[in-house]
Structure 1
Amino acid sequence: MGLLHSKKPGLQFEEFYSDIPSYYIISHTWYPNNQEIPYQDVLNGAGEQKLGLQKILKFKELVSSKQGDYFWVDTCCIDKTSSAELSEAINSMYLWYKEAAACSAYLSDVDIPNSGSLRSHDSSIVFKSSRWFTRGWTLQELLAPKSVRRTTTRVEDQSYSLMGLFGVNMPLLYGEGPKAFI
């Protein structure tokens, strides 16, 4: 697994075949018109004019601020010119999101001018209209990580909040703690 280092200058890869260190991962939709930074651009130091570079650099800053050393972005951490690497990545994607220390969802098409000017109801509409919620790949990116913008007051709510998604009906037994997942 090729990871980018958050503390080194620019974008630098480190390859790990075993003993993969803790890393952060991003869930996002790709910019159209070849605006993402592919693996080869990172190796060659190219792509300064592409919108995707700013997204990656902002994520690098976030990871560094969380004291993380490594991060992974699908647009540039997979060599898509290698059919073997692309196949491995697609087959490993769910696991990579699941094993990440944290996952950040980047909604490039959501623009909130300043926190005081948007009512709660309005912000809900803005977020729900994001392309991120309609893309196929982002579903596994939402479900796999241990952490994606999801918090609950009680441990059981982590399980109970998924019941409707899976069409499950069961009695709620607050106090059962982690057993709610069984």
Structure 2
Amino acid sequence: MKLLNVKAVLDRDKGMQLTGHDAEVMKILGYDEVLKDLDDKSTSYAILSHRWVTEVNYEEMIGLAVMEPRTKDRIRGRSGYMKIIKSCEQAMKDGYTWLWIDTCCIDKRSSAELTEAINSMYRWYRDSQMCYVFLNDVDDWAFPAKQDFSRLGWVNGWPEWFSRGWTLQELIAPRKAEFFNKRWESIGTKEDLASVLEEITRIPESVLRDGRVLRSIASSERPCVAQIMSWAADRKTTRVEDRAYSLLGLFGVNMPMLYGEGPKAFQRLQLEIIRASSDHSILAWSPKGRFGMHKSVLADNPSCFRGYHDIQELEPHRFIAELEHGIRWLGLDAATNLSRLMGLQRGADSSQLFRFDVTNLGIQMSLPVCPQQDQDALSTKYFKAMLPFHDHYGNLVTIDLQCRGHSFCRR
């Protein structure tokens, strides 16, 4: 990763402010390299999380000192440049030599470098010693502890930083984070603000305090897929593909960046999650009032998971017990159906419930289903499939399926 040399950036800025003899001395002495390739594992560095405004890119950052005066003054006048300087000052104050800022530490002219950065970004935030969170629309001395709908630019009564897609991983991944207002005054740490942050984001306080629970996609302590997706349900990104790309690190998966593919990026993300996990909650999403047949069993975007932040996974034996109760309650052919359930309960066939196969024909899996009678289309078969999860009210989470030949679609 490319990191800013904090002292070199500040020395260069100081040199550009000088005139006359002092400026000539600075030119003779020269400036240290402002950006350097280093290893995130062995380097101690701070990192910045922020909402983009008028930023300074990689090319401008490395060439600033040799630009003609008018261009140089225009770049140094941007709010994004002042953010870099203030971040470097804070890093130097805290004893850090190196700092990473996404806007100027990635050469986005290189598609290979951009892809590597996006796939590595969660790790970079996780490996940082400190994350500075800059809230450019907060001018108070204290962190906002309640919604304020009168604030211009705030979203849902909270600072805009909480509504952006990329800042989700930037909140969870770092071990330590400190929040700053628009004047770069500290207004609290992630640890001290964990309960307020949970109220704002619905991310459990345990995850905010220790993001390591997300490291293993198969961990028993890890929140289910639908819960993690729900955290991103109300977040936006400038590019539609970034709604998927910004979630890669949270699910521990990687994939190529294909800007221009649009919503297909989120489909690809879900397929990568399925390949790495047997979590059925990836199917626990709502069609949001859409009627008729849905083209896929997968969701269109994270917003489909809104409201699924509190579903609870059921252990196999408990799930099967609830299915048995459901079969009797529905008055189905208990003798036939219960014989199938007994095999699952003994464990002989239980692996069927936790296996996904992704093929060129679609996703193949086994789910318990109940037939549904449709009076308007007697020739079409409808089913209600049951997932091993409880909703907010303690009911089994179900999805509606429509049979199409040898396959099924969401209804």
TM-score normalised to the size of structure 1? 0.75
Amino acid at match of 1:150: K
Deviation at 1:125, TM superposition (A): 3.5
Deviation at 1:14, TM superposition (A): 1.3
Deviation at 1:26, TM superposition (A): 0.8
Question: Helix, strand or coil: the match of 2:122?
Answer: helix
Q: Could you tell me how far apart the structure 2 residues matched to 1:87 and 1:97 are?
A: 16
Name the one with the larger strand percent.
Answer: 2
Aligned partner (choices 10, 16, 41) of residue 60 of structure 2: 41
Question: Helix, strand or coil: the match of 2:147?
Answer: helix
Q: Could you tell me how far apart the structure 2 residues matched to 1:168 and 1:138 are?
A: 24
Counterparts in 2 of 1:103 and 1:18: CA distance versus 1, 3 Å: closer
Deviation at 1:141, TM superposition (A): 0.4
Aligned partner (choices 111, 127, 149) of residue 139 of structure 2: 111
Q: Tell me the equivalent position of 2:404.
A: none
Q: Tell me the equivalent position of 2:45.
A: 23
Counterparts in 2 of 1:109 and 1:57: CA distance versus 1, 3 Å: same
2:4–2:99 contact (8 Å) kept in structure 1: yes
Q: Tell me the equivalent position of 1:177.
A: none
Aligned partner (choices 277, 286, 310) of residue 167 of structure 1: 310
Aligned partner (choices 183, 190, 200) of residue 150 of structure 1: 190
Deviation at 1:18, TM superposition (A): 7.1
Amino acid at match of 2:51: T
Within-5 A mapping of 1:1-182: 1-8=1-8, 9-10=11-12, 12-17=34-39, 20-31=42-53, 35-45=54-64, 46=72, 47-112=75-140, 115=141, 124-125=146-147, 129-148=158-177, 149-151=189-191, 159=206, 167=310
1:101-156 Cα deviation digits (max 9, x unpaired)? 010110111122xx4xx7x8x6643685211000000000000000122226xxxx
Matched length: 158
5+ residue gaps in structure 1? 170-182
Question: Helix, strand or coil: the match of 1:108?
Answer: coil
1:10-54 Cα deviation digits (max 9, x unpaired)? 3711112576411000110100xxx10000011111421211000
Counterparts in 2 of 1:50 and 1:158: CA distance versus 1, 3 Å: same
2:45–2:128 contact (8 Å) kept in structure 1: yes
Deviation at 1:70, TM superposition (A): 0.4
Percent of aligned pairs sharing the same letter: 37
Counterparts in 2 of 1:95 and 1:160: CA distance versus 1, 3 Å: closer
Q: Could you tell me how far apart the structure 2 residues matched to 1:161 and 1:77 are?
A: 26
Q: Tell me the equivalent position of 2:389.
A: none
2:171–2:208 contact (8 Å) kept in structure 1: no
TM-score normalised to the size of structure 2? 0.35
Q: Could you tell me how far apart the structure 2 residues matched to 1:98 and 1:43 are?
A: 26
Comparing 7-16 and 41-50, the one that deviates more: 7-16
Question: Helix, strand or coil: the match of 2:113?
Answer: helix
Q: Could you tell me how far apart the structure 1 residues matched to 2:169 and 2:62 are?
A: 28
Greater length-normalized contact order (CA 8 Å, ≥ 6 residues apart): 1
2:106–2:114 contact (8 Å) kept in structure 1: yes
Over alpha carbons, which structure has the higher Rg?
Answer: 2
Q: Could you tell me how far apart the structure 2 residues matched to 1:131 and 1:72 are?
A: 21
Counterparts in 2 of 1:66 and 1:84: CA distance versus 1, 3 Å: same
Deviation at 1:158, TM superposition (A): 6.0
Q: Could you tell me how far apart the structure 2 residues matched to 1:97 and 1:88 are?
A: 14
Counterparts in 2 of 1:160 and 1:74: CA distance versus 1, 3 Å: closer
Q: Give the superposed CA RMSD.
A: 3.0
Deviation at 1:161, TM superposition (A): 6.6
Q: Tell me the equivalent position of 2:383.
A: none
